[in-house]
Amino acid sequence: MITSCGGIILSGGQNTRMNGRNKAFVEIGGQRFVERIAGALSEVLTECLLVTREPAQYTGLNLRVVEDIFQARSPLTGIHSGLVHLRSAFGVCVSCDMPLLRSGVIRLLEEAIERHYDIVVPATGTFYQPLCAVYSKSCIPFIEDQLNENDLKVDRLFRKVRVKKIPYELIETVDPGLDSFFNVNTPEDIGTAVALLQKESEGFPG
C-alpha cells in the first residue's frame, strides 16, 4: 500500500443541465456537495484540493483551490492540474457532482494502490468510473501529450498507462448500492440524491 495519496475534486463543468447553477454548491442533508465530498476524502487521505477554472467562486472554503493549467474544457484538464499541484504521489480524482461519495470507497481505492500501476479504477466489464479513480503523477506526461493534441477523452488515457481494475463486486462490499457513483446532472437528480441519502441514513453506514 502507498500512503502518499491525496484527493482531487474536479469542479470545471459548465452546469448546462443545471441551468447554470454550480453543482459544487448545491446542498443536501445540510451540506453543500463540495463540503460532503471533501469530508469523505479527508477522512482517508493526507491532503485534498479542488481544481476549477474560476477560483474566485470558492473563496471561503476550507480547501486548497488551484486553477486549470490547460484551457480545454475536459475533466482531463482538471486531473492534470490536480496531479501537478498535489504534493502526494497519487491522487483520488472525483467529480464535484457525486455528493453520495463514501469514505469506504475512497479507503478501498487507496488501499489498492501499487507503485507499478498508474491508475486504479472501479470497473465493470469494459466500463470504467474515471471520475472516481486514483491517478499517479506518472500520468502527467501522457495527459499533457493528449491535451496538446486536443484529445480530451479521459478513457483514451487508459490505453497508454498501466491500469488496475477494481471490480464493482468489491466496491459493493463498502457501498452496496454503488451510490458513490451517482452523478447529479439535472435539478431532478437532486431529489434522487436526497432520497438515496435518506435511505443511506437508515441503513448501511459509510
Ordered domains of the chain (ranges, CATH): 5-202 (3.90.550.10)
pLDDT of residue 17: 57
pLDDT of residue 20: 64
Question: What dihedral angle (degrees, nearest 10) is formed by the CA atoms of 158, 109, 134, 97?
Answer: 100
pLDDT of residue 113: 96
| Grid coordinates belonging to 125 | 466489464
Are the C-beta atoms of residues 106 and 91 closer than 8 Å to each other?
Answer: no
pLDDT along the chain (206 residues), means of 10: 82 64 89 96 95 91 93 94 97 96 97 96 94 98 97 95 97 96 92 88 57
Handedness of CA 182, 77, 151, 138 (dihedral sign): negative
pLDDT of residue 1: 43
Cβ-Cβ contacts under 8 Å for 46 (sequence gap 6 or more): 3, 4, 5, 6, 88
List phi, psi (to 5°) of 203: -135, -110
